[in-house]
Amino acid sequence: MATQSTTEAQTHSNGTPPSIPPSIAGDNRKVALITGITGQDGSYLTEFLLAKGYEVHGLIRRSSNFNTARLDHIYVDPHNSSKARMKLHYADLSDASSLRRWVDSILPDEVYNLAAQSHVAISFEIPDYTADVVGTGALRLLEAVRLAPKPIRYYQAGSSEMFGSTPPPQSESSPFHPRSPYAAAKVAAHWYTVNYREAYDLFACNGILFNHESPRRGENFVTRKITRAVGRIKVGLQTKLFLGNLSASRDWGFAGDYVEAMWLMLQQEKPADYVVATEESHTVEEFLVEAFGYAGMDWKDHVVIDKRYFRPAEVDSLKGDSSKARCELKWKPKVGFKELVKMMVENDIEMAKKEKVLVDAGYRDPQQQP
């Protein structure tokens, strides 16, 4: 497992990171630093950059539980220096000193700030933490990039949630009207990035990404919650799925497509901000119909509305206008809505089958799902 050989959290006994040359392999390949590398987007971006010959460094938070499952398939022990082109280091967006040390040690060509407390509903429960990590955390990283001894290109992960109650379609010129602590913190990070670009001439870009999903999506996000439930219901491990607002409409794309847009932003001659979206919008109910239908079931037989899952302030409709990205970056999504849902349902049915084997053998508790 990726976490079991954590010389990736390389630190000398005096608490300072070791000196890391611009390229561990000693060649001229590009070097990227990714925060949030263990997340959905971080794992896809890492795969994308490794395929392009990059050396990739990721910053991870210390945890008592292993949290690198999305990277296990591409992890190489750092002792195998000739093959290990991805390395992990301990740091935190709440700790400016750790960010500064690693930026100065690694001296990356590109920094991708993907780390966040990214769950909208949970941001209402932990607003202070969300603001600190999502908003001020971006400022800390921008400052580390600004003070680095070489020019570094910086990507800030924005969110369609920043538009909030602004009517669709939303583009780069649409006003922000955030409806959650998470969205408000993302707006702060967006303007910090713009400010550092204008004040210090940093090559800094905001990617305003609309909802992007995949089989690697966290299981407490509504799309993955649905497809995970479809799999478990299909094999008899679950009977009910509890959800909130089914009329909320979102522009859902495939995360694997969207990381290409991130990279393309940092390859341009001049920095700019871009909306990344499919330009199609679907409701949660439509997602349910597609997901349950693909598995040969009727969602109405299993879904229960629970008011606990309604947000204090709802965002009714998000639909992006990505014409700027399509024109300037030559980017467009490859995976459509139906294909995305199919991909996620197939993955989660197979996962549920494996889970059922363990449950039937008495090695796992079915978690008392109703």
Residues assigned a catalytic role: 159, 161, 182
* Cα–Cα distance, 22 to 189 (Å, whole number): 28
What sign does the CA torsion over 322, 326, 329, 332 have? positive
Residue 177: partners with Cβ closer than 8 Å, 6 or more residues away: 163, 164, 165, 166
* Cα–Cα distance, 352 to 266 (Å, whole number): 39
Beta carbons within 10 angstroms of residue 18's beta carbon: 10
Residue 79: partners with Cβ closer than 8 Å, 6 or more residues away: 5, 7
HSE-up (13 A, CA, CB side) for residue 177: 14
Q: Are 229 and 176 contacting, i.e. CB atoms less than 8 angstroms apart? A: no
Of 89, 72, 81, residue with least CA distance to 2: 72
Indicate the length of the chain as a whole number. Answer: 370
Residue 49 amino acid letter: L
Of 369, 43, 55, residue with least CA distance to 233: 369
